[in-house]
């Protein structure tokens, strides 16, 4: 397995954990703001991961989303 792919997944997981933790701290001030921040903790890393897979496949194979894990 490619070390770049593994490190990217770990960085995105820690980013999601950090945003989620910040979202839980915001629940004390505003439930709506905390909920939106928690959703962003899920959406942002997922979108970055899909974009990384797209460009990784495009760079290595010439076709997006086609590479060996």
pLDDT in tens, 10-56: 888 888 888 888 888 888 888 888 888 888 888 988 898 888 888 88
pTM of the predicted model as reported, rounded to 2 decimal places: 0.69
pLDDT at site 28: 83
Q: How far apart are CA 49 and CA 62, in angstroms?
A: 18
For the chain, what's the residue count?
Answer: 69
Query: Which pLDDT band holds residue 60 (cuts at 50, 70, 90)?
Result: confident
Q: How far apart are CA 30 and CA 62, in angstroms?
A: 46
């Amino acid at each position: 397995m490619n070390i770049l792919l593994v490190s990217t997944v770990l960085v995105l997981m820690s980013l999601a954990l950090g945003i989620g933790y910040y979202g839980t701290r915001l629940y004390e001030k505003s439930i709506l703001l905390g909920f939106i921040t928690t959703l962003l903790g899920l959406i942002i890393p997922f979108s970055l991961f899909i974009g990384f897979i797209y460009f990784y496949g495009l760079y290595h194979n010439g076709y997006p989303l086609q590479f060996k894990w």
